[in-house]
Amino acid sequence: MTAPTATGAPSAAETEPIRLLDPDGTLVESDATAAWHELAAELSTADRLAMHGEMVRTRRFDIEAGHLQRQGKLGLWVPSIGQEGAQVGAAWAAREQDTIFPSYREHLIALHRGVTMDQIIDIFRGARHGGWNPLETRGMRIYSLVIATHALHSTGFAMGVRFDGACGTGDATRDEAVMAFYGDGAASQGDASEGLVFAARYEAPIVFFVQNNKWAISVPSHRQSRFPLHARARGFGLDAELVDGNDPLASFAVTRRMLDAARQGAPGYIEADTYRMGAHTTSDDPTRYRSSEEEESWRRRDPIARLAAHVRALGVEDAALAEQEHEAADLASDMRRRVLEAEAAVSDDIFDHVYSDPHPLMVEQKRQLAEFEASFGGEA
């Protein structure tokens, strides 16, 4: 099964993503893209170079984190390689006053909002229960590993923004909006649909940003969705667009427009057409369920190479790009050194923060874990 066959299947035009930059970095200029280019014009060459820098930094961080997991320093790692283009556009489109509800793969967005590499790593090292305090990370909420739960949390939060009168004044620089990030697989969860119902009904200032990376672990997105996700969202009453998720400029333009409409009471849905270039997590082996040809075809659409070609065409020197690579490598190796030097994570937090007062069951579970860990004689 590859394409939807149901009556009412969308036409080819509806499934063509908005694209401003071709995979080789040339601009796509047509009547259809003109208005989107106008939005992207807000990004100066320096901005575009900085966006490239954030992508390079995130990729390097991602690679080092994967190595640390293989060395036994992290319990798990969730790579975002290949999805940096969708994320960097969205990150730059969000405004300072916005609140962001991520899944677990939004490393670039987290870093962009001021979460540190170490804070992200600490979750996967088991050193921290939640991750960070969203009040200190410019509205970046904590990662949500339970699929689509935050589709509801974010919708409820956005309804609260509306009830508080913190949106809808017409001033995009002040009105608040909310973004929720989840994947193509999460879109099958009931929570995701309920979020859409309530967002539409309450005209909540929210944009759902769905990275369709083609896979939910080993299940291809076309098997879960007989109809394009963005087109489905329209049936719930949301404005929706399909964007080339490996095109940072298109991701920026579409997210900016959707978010600014959401602030005025028109919730939106963006399906970003992208690809998870790596494994689902370090516990996954994608060679078991997908072909190397498929992976290769997406490597040719790497969002970093695309933006690099674009900024070069704008006159940015190779040396500036090389400098970003060096800086990213330094930051990631500093992070790596700190992790290698860190004490092994203490697991007490998972028990201590369940209830405000000590609870006999938690006390017993904590004792059992301590006993289990002690059985390794310090080798665990």
Contacts with ligand TPP by CB under 6 A lie at 105, 145-147, 182-186, 213, 215-217, 276, 280
Over its C-alpha atoms, the chain yields an Rg (Å, rounded) of 21
Inter-CA distances, 158 with 19, 173, 198, Å: 29, 17, 10
Do the Cβ atoms of 230 and 269 come closer than 8 Å?
yes
Site size with Mg ion, rule: CB under 5 A: 5
Task: Determine if 87 is a binding residue for Mg ion (CB under 5 A).
Answer: no
Q: Which of 69, 213, 251, 282 binds Mg ion (CB under 5 A)?
A: 213
Report, in Å, the least distance between residue 182 CB and Mg ion.
9
Report, in Å, the least distance between residue 15 CB and ligand TPP.
18
Interaction partner, residue 82 (Mg ion, ligand TPP, none; CB < 5-8 Å by kind): none
Report, in Å, the least distance between residue 217 CB and ligand TPP.
5
For helices 45-70 and 84-93, the axis angle rounded to 10 degrees is 130
CA neighbor of 123 nearest in space, from 154, 138, 102, 145: 145
Q: Tokens for 231, please give them.
A: 């087109």
Report, in Å, the least distance between residue 167 CB and ligand TPP.
27
* Residues belonging to the chain: 380
Residue 295: Cβ-neighbour burial (10 angstroms; 0-12, 13-18, 19+):
middle
Report, in Å, the least distance between residue 340 CB and ligand TPP.
28
Task: Determine if 184 is a binding residue for Mg ion (CB under 5 A).
Answer: yes
Q: Residues with Cβ < 8 Å from 223, sequence gap 6 or more?
A: 1
Interaction partner, residue 354 (ligand TPP, Mg ion, none; CB < 5-8 Å by kind): none
Report, in Å, the least distance between residue 196 CB and ligand TPP.
15
Interaction partner, residue 158 (ligand TPP, Mg ion, none; CB < 5-8 Å by kind): none
Task: Return the residues of window 215-254 that contact Mg ion according to CB under 5 A.
Answer: 216
d(CA 196, CA 210): 12
d(CA 338, CA 126): 15
Q: Tokens for 51, please give them.
A: 């966006």
Interaction partner, residue 147 (ligand TPP, Mg ion, none; CB < 5-8 Å by kind): ligand TPP
Tell how many helices (H) and how many strands (E) occur in the chain.
15, 7
Interaction partner, residue 351 (Mg ion, ligand TPP, none; CB < 5-8 Å by kind): none
Interaction partner, residue 186 (ligand TPP, Mg ion, none; CB < 5-8 Å by kind): ligand TPP
Report, in Å, the least distance between residue 170 CB and ligand TPP.
35
In the bound state with Mg ion, the residue whose beta carbon lies nearer, of 68 and 216, is: 216
In the bound state with Mg ion, the residue whose beta carbon lies nearer, of 183 and 248, is: 183
Q: Please identify the residue of the shown chain whose CB is closest to the bound Mg ion.
A: 183
Strand (E) or helix (H) holding 338: helix 318-341
CA neighbor of 251 nearest in space, from 89, 36, 19: 89
In the bound state with ligand TPP, the residue whose beta carbon lies nearer, of 106 and 244, is: 106
Task: Determine if 106 is a binding residue for Mg ion (CB under 5 A).
Answer: no
Using the contact rule CB under 5 A, the part of the chain among 57-65, 78-86, 167-175, 209-217 near Mg ion is 209-217
d(CA 186, CA 189): 5
CA neighbor of 15 nearest in space, from 3, 7, 27, 24: 3
Q: Could you say which DSSP state residue 126 is in? A: T
Report, in Å, the least distance between residue 273 CB and Mg ion.
12
Binding residues for Mg ion, per CB under 5 A?
A: 183-185, 213, 216
